Structure 1
Amino acid sequence: MFIKKILSSIIIAAFFLPTISFAQEAINPSFDPGFLISDAAFADTGTFGSSTGVQQFLESRGSVLANTDPVFLTKLREPADVALKTALEDIRPNLGRLRTAAELIYDAALGAGLNPQVLIVTLQKEQSLITKNFTTDADLQRALDRALGYGCPDSQPCQASFLSFYGQFFGTLDVAGDRWLGAAKSLSKSFSHEVNGTRVGRGPLIDAQNQAFGSGPFVRASRINDTVIFQNTLGGFAGVQAIQTITLKNFATTALYRYTPHVFNGNYNFWRFYNEWFRYPNGTVIKLSSDSTLWVIDNGLRRTFSTFVAQQRGINISNPIVVSPTEFASYIEGSRYLPKDGTIIKSDAETVYYLIEEGKRRKITDFTAKQRGLNIAAAVTLPQAEVQSYDLGSILLPLENTLIKASDNPTVFMILGGVKRPITYAVFIQRKLNFADVALLPPAEVSEIPNGPLLPPSDGTIVRGSGPAVYLVENGTKRIFSYNVFVQRQYSFASVVVLSDEEMNALTVGLPVAPQDNTLVKLVDHPAIYMVSGGAKAHVTAAVFNLRKLYLQPIMILSSHELDSLPQAVYSFPPANGTLLRASDSQTVYLVENGQLRPISYEAFVARKFKFSNVVVLDPADVAVFEKGEVIVK
């Protein structure tokens, strides 16, 4: 009776609630859904100049991706396997350290022939990684793993093999060793796609009515100049049509609609963020009507510049664009615009030489000038005030992997990743370094080089400290082994290198070393069994366990930390290829091919001489957890 009274009160109150409406943002009238970005801008790989330019942009926006702390870098999940990264066409597969987010963005863009700005805008469009403040590590990791929304269709879970910041950009290999493109290469492929030798671009799949939505059947991929019908997401912006027809006017727009087959909110947000940050091409000169100061646009920042820089860089100052105070304020003020990278400068008041490199002026020493082959005689002399207006960076470093020591100190360092990293005797020997290669430098010069952590042993080294735990060194991190995984991977305790606790503590903690693919794993106190596949764990149902006779295989017991560190596959481990099956409540028969359940038509079933007596009948709940493929019609 009491419950009925409460329900009656809720129902009556509902009739007297005021109507609530939420204000929706107006659509920018300049938006052309058929032309999101020019082809030239889409393929402009030179926008940032280097990963340092990307880093500066991330810092200017307060992005979480600007974090360069080693612990954060492990969250990006860059693999240590050089062969894997080489197969994925990573342009820098063997740095021997974890890259920053800026470096991964830049390297992926350069390798794919894309403008890094395109990837930055996509990071914002998909996961708000440029501007959002993440309050928990779990939310941040989830966003990083899905950074570009790649492999994450609207109506289905994300594919586990793409769930890492690195994998989003560069892709992955499946268990058969087949290459799956990441977001960067996929966009590039769609941008340059040819049919019979003619470039046509690759847009979204469309049906016979040119619709890019619904259940199909889809007859072909759309191409440039096609008129395509899209279904929109409603509620974000005022006046959005549920169904919208547009013409794909260039290759870049065609590729972006292949990536996100909606106008709203996805591609409108792409256009919106791109124009908010990168509306004016680099080198555009702007000014206020009330001020004579000229500013140059550089990757979304406004910078002042000198007459020398204008002449050297070919900046046209004769026709600056006059902008409103509001638009002017939308561009964050950056540091003074520098001469071109590689320019050697000195002031008219001192004899110190500087190299312009990655947005900084860096002091040149005699050693680095000689080692790098720099021509000091070609230095440009500038006014002292101008030289001092340029951001001062760290001293110009010797080349990567150079061994150095100060003349008054026995410590040997390696130049690596912009810092000097001290080397212990054990690591010096383990890496087979040679004392004859150590350069002797003045103490003051060595002290000016930024300090880094201890140099780790080479990747692939098995190490331990004073305790019994054994670790694998990869990308400067230490990954703990369980005994079972150590034995399975056929490592030998005789090969373990003993380090001091100081050396061990200098290594960032990475994820535990996973069992090899095709290993059955479980917790000691839980019945669930998983198959390790493609670096992820796929749940094994009881039906598949029996169908595949997996009871004949050993099961490795993992700790909860080890099991939790394995990404969860979207779908359960499938029956063996060639299996015919159906759910007990359905007449649809599936054939398992390449790990997918593909519905098979009656005609195809007969044509392939299958027998209904061979069809395995499973519980509907089991069939629901397997990945489905396209219908087999013949």
Structure 2
Amino acid sequence: MKKIFIVTIIAFILLPCQVLADEIFDQNFIISDSQLTDYDSMSEADIRNFLLARQSRLASKSFADFYGGTKRASLIIFQAALRNHINPKFILTMLQKEQSLVENKEPSARNYDWATGYGLCDSCSSDDPSLAIFKGFGNQVEYLGKIMKKYLTYPDQYNFQVGKTSQVDLYLVTPLSQATANLYNYTPHILGNKNFWKIWQDYWEKTYPDGTLLKAVDNKDVWLISNGLRRKINSFSILLSRFDPKKIVVVNQLEIDSYPSGPEIRFNNYSLLRDPSGKIYLLQDDSLRHINSPEVFKILGFNIEEVEDITDVDLTNYNIGEPLTLQSAYPTGALLQNKKTGGIYFVQDGIKYPILAREIWLNNYSEKTVIKVLPEELQKYTDGLPVKFSDGTLVKSDAGPDVFVISSGKRRPVISGDKFEELGYSWEKIISTTQTVAEIHPLGEIIK
């Protein structure tokens, strides 16, 4: 018998139009509040890789920053997102919507100067001296972040509000999310917001959530879906060092090809990499952690013969993480078990992260040996947040029939059993857990 599950009714009550978002534009619900405010959804390297994949001129451009100095466009976007708690994906979408800066191969100086359209209106002239304060890429990105944050903080001070009906062009609009109200306050036109929605759908609402491993039938290549890009995993050993092959979803090659190609995943996790200047780094996921002295290198037990050389171009594909020092206990991570209580922790860099359920331990760390230690040993380490299921895991809780895909640490409900099977997921790979454990993963957007 075909298995069927239903996404909770609450989800539909809160987001009544989202189910149809990929089928028809709904002027009342463009994006959700969580999509607008997911400010750490991309690192600077992620932003740059996205721009490179789209062959954007912004990938290699630097501009005067709002706070002084000259910075890479990707860094300006990243820092504005963090400061204002606005999703960098939102900023990238606005850059394309307003001036086509993500995909325009020959942008003009004016395109850069008025990158997000901030300060301009239907009757305004960009030559107006009073608007000069807003001019420039760095200013435009920062002012966009600031006004979105202001709309969120003081929603009652602006024309478009959640639940309040207004006429826009020939349509009645009743925003169902504050993010939607923000978009109308910024651009009070249907066409402009429909363009935003189309770009958002194209860039960020592909079929498979971030963290999914895809493989085509009759093709050995495995790809990681990350920030709307497909990243080829260069070897099976690299796959094993970073991911669980059991989570691979087999799909049609055309589905994989629909994603722009991002940087390849070329090194095993915890590889030792040396840049042209001679600095040696430990690769941890997509972050490079500088080993700050030969003494640290030796004490942490690394082998100089295992160091691989990389280029300056390789460096740009990674984030620079915290350096490794003499205080960096277990830099590659370890499982420590309290001999007295039986509790298991993932310990890394002097921080112990509790593992709340056996199913998380077996799912995330099945290859790691558990080291039993005295409670006094564990007391040496700082307390961290509970460990979540790794991305790509299929989960259901004991509170209901809903099935979720873990993506970027969030649990994203699949809208129906038919959709679950259409995406190539396997019922046998669903992991059951408690509602308490499920809820350490914030609820994400519906996969529809």
TM-score with structure 2 setting the length = 0.53
Q: Which structure is larger by alpha-carbon Rg, 1 or 2?
A: 1
- For 2:35 and 2:239, locate their aligned partners in 1 and report how far apart those are by CA, in whole Å: 22
Which of residues 244, 269, 294 in structure 1 aligns to 2:171? 244
Deviation per residue, 1:239-260 (Å, 9 max, x gap): xxxx122331222222122211
**CA displacement at 1:376 relative to structure 2:** 6.5
Q: Please state whether the residue corresponding to 1:320 is helix, strand or coil.
A: strand
Corresponding residue for residue 47 of structure 1: 41
**CA displacement at 1:328 relative to structure 2:** 2.8
**CA displacement at 1:392 relative to structure 2:** 4.2
Residue 277 in 1 paired to residue 203 in 2? yes
- For 1:381 and 1:370, locate their aligned partners in 2 and report how far apart those are by CA, in whole Å: 10
- For 1:55 and 1:132, locate their aligned partners in 2 and report how far apart those are by CA, in whole Å: 16
- For 1:323 and 1:52, locate their aligned partners in 2 and report how far apart those are by CA, in whole Å: 29
Corresponding residue for residue 268 of structure 1: 194
**CA displacement at 1:112 relative to structure 2:** 0.6
**CA displacement at 1:375 relative to structure 2:** 7.8
Q: CA distance change for structure 1 residues 344 and 286 in 2, over 3 Å: closer, same or farther?
A: closer
2:293 partner letter? A
Q: CA distance change for structure 1 residues 168 and 361 in 2, over 3 Å: closer, same or farther?
A: closer
What does 1:79-158 correspond to in 2, within 5 Å?
A: 85=67, 97-134=69-106, 140-158=108-126
**CA displacement at 1:354 relative to structure 2:** 4.0
Residue 297 in 1 paired to residue 225 in 2? yes
Q: Contact (CA 8 Å) 1:344, 1:376: kept in 2 or not?
A: no
1:37 partner letter? I
Q: CA distance change for structure 1 residues 246 and 99 in 2, over 3 Å: closer, same or farther?
A: same
**CA displacement at 1:122 relative to structure 2:** 0.5
Corresponding residue for residue 419 of structure 2: none
Q: Please state whether the residue corresponding to 1:223 is helix, strand or coil.
A: coil
**CA displacement at 1:77 relative to structure 2:** 3.9
Q: Please state whether the residue corresponding to 1:252 is helix, strand or coil.
A: helix
Corresponding residue for residue 147 of structure 2: 186
Q: CA distance change for structure 1 residues 376 and 336 in 2, over 3 Å: closer, same or farther?
A: farther
Q: CA distance change for structure 1 residues 246 and 393 in 2, over 3 Å: closer, same or farther?
A: same
Q: Which has the higher contact order (CA 8 A, sep 6+)?
A: 2
What does 1:368-517 correspond to in 2, within 5 Å?
A: 368-369=292-293, 377=300, 392-393=314-315
Q: Please state whether the residue corresponding to 1:286 is helix, strand or coil.
A: strand
Q: Contact (CA 8 Å) 1:278, 1:300: kept in 2 or not?
A: yes
- For 2:284 and 2:27, locate their aligned partners in 1 and report how far apart those are by CA, in whole Å: 39
What does 1:152-231 correspond to in 2, within 5 Å?
A: 152-158=120-126, 159-170=131-142, 182-190=143-151, 192-194=152-154, 201=155, 205=159, 222-231=160-169
**CA displacement at 1:378 relative to structure 2:** 6.4
Q: CA distance change for structure 1 residues 275 and 52 in 2, over 3 Å: closer, same or farther?
A: same
Corresponding residue for residue 463 of structure 1: none
Q: CA distance change for structure 1 residues 346 and 63 in 2, over 3 Å: closer, same or farther?
A: closer
- For 1:323 and 1:228, locate their aligned partners in 2 and report how far apart those are by CA, in whole Å: 44
1:228 partner letter? S
What does 1:515-554 correspond to in 2, within 5 Å?
A: none
2:300 partner letter? A
Q: CA distance change for structure 1 residues 289 and 346 in 2, over 3 Å: closer, same or farther?
A: same
Which of residues 262, 269, 272 in structure 2 aligns to 1:334? 262
Deviation per residue, 1:38-85 (Å, 9 max, x gap): 322222222222x232222222222121224xxxx4xx3446xxxxx3
Q: CA distance change for structure 1 residues 288 and 31 in 2, over 3 Å: closer, same or farther?
A: farther
- For 1:340 and 1:47, locate their aligned partners in 2 and report how far apart those are by CA, in whole Å: 23
Corresponding residue for residue 379 of structure 2: none
**CA displacement at 1:272 relative to structure 2:** 1.4
- For 2:57 and 2:186, locate their aligned partners in 1 and report how far apart those are by CA, in whole Å: 24
**CA displacement at 1:144 relative to structure 2:** 1.0
Q: CA distance change for structure 1 residues 43 and 328 in 2, over 3 Å: closer, same or farther?
A: same
2:37 partner letter? A
Q: CA distance change for structure 1 residues 164 and 230 in 2, over 3 Å: closer, same or farther?
A: same
- For 2:179 and 2:301, locate their aligned partners in 1 and report how far apart those are by CA, in whole Å: 42
- For 1:287 and 1:203, locate their aligned partners in 2 and report how far apart those are by CA, in whole Å: 50
Which of residues 276, 283, 294 in structure 2 aligns to 1:356? 283
- For 1:31 and 1:322, locate their aligned partners in 2 and report how far apart those are by CA, in whole Å: 28
Deviation per residue, 1:219-242 (Å, 9 max, x gap): xxx3223333211xxxxxxxxxxx
Deviation per residue, 1:83-124 (Å, 9 max, x gap): xx3xxxxxxx5xxx4111111111111111111111111011
Aligned residues: 288
Which sections of structure 2, spanning at least 5 residues, go unmatched?
A: 1-20, 322-448
Q: Please state whether the residue corresponding to 1:62 is helix, strand or coil.
A: coil
- For 2:54 and 2:140, locate their aligned partners in 1 and report how far apart those are by CA, in whole Å: 22
Deviation per residue, 1:576-604 (Å, 9 max, x gap): xxxxxxxxxxxxxxxxxxxxxxxxxxxxx
- For 1:224 and 1:345, locate their aligned partners in 2 and report how far apart those are by CA, in whole Å: 51
Q: Please state whether the residue corresponding to 1:225 is helix, strand or coil.
A: coil
- For 1:256 and 1:301, locate their aligned partners in 2 and report how far apart those are by CA, in whole Å: 26
**CA displacement at 1:185 relative to structure 2:** 1.2
Corresponding residue for residue 318 of structure 1: 247
Residue 56 in 1 paired to residue 49 in 2? yes
**CA displacement at 1:289 relative to structure 2:** 4.7
Aligned-residue CA RMSD (Å): 4.3
Deviation per residue, 1:303-349 (Å, 9 max, x gap): 13367776776779537373561x432312222337899x45479xx
Q: Contact (CA 8 Å) 1:145, 1:168: kept in 2 or not?
A: yes
Q: Contact (CA 8 Å) 2:48, 2:74: kept in 1 or not?
A: yes
Q: CA distance change for structure 1 residues 295 and 204 in 2, over 3 Å: closer, same or farther?
A: farther
TM-score with structure 1 setting the length = 0.39
Corresponding residue for residue 30 of structure 2: 36
Q: Contact (CA 8 Å) 2:217, 2:250: kept in 1 or not?
A: no
1:268 partner letter? K
Q: Contact (CA 8 Å) 1:150, 1:183: kept in 2 or not?
A: yes
- For 1:43 and 1:267, locate their aligned partners in 2 and report how far apart those are by CA, in whole Å: 18
Q: CA distance change for structure 1 residues 119 and 331 in 2, over 3 Å: closer, same or farther?
A: same
- For 2:108 and 2:87, locate their aligned partners in 1 and report how far apart those are by CA, in whole Å: 25
- For 1:223 and 1:110, locate their aligned partners in 2 and report how far apart those are by CA, in whole Å: 25
- For 1:387 and 1:45, locate their aligned partners in 2 and report how far apart those are by CA, in whole Å: 33
**CA displacement at 1:152 relative to structure 2:** 0.5
- For 2:298 and 2:236, locate their aligned partners in 1 and report how far apart those are by CA, in whole Å: 24
**CA displacement at 1:360 relative to structure 2:** 7.5
Corresponding residue for residue 556 of structure 1: none
Q: CA distance change for structure 1 residues 165 and 116 in 2, over 3 Å: closer, same or farther?
A: same
Corresponding residue for residue 406 of structure 1: none
Which sections of structure 1, spanning at least 5 residues, go unmatched?
A: 1-26, 80-84, 86-92, 171-181, 195-200, 206-221, 232-242, 400-634
- For 1:167 and 1:383, locate their aligned partners in 2 and report how far apart those are by CA, in whole Å: 45
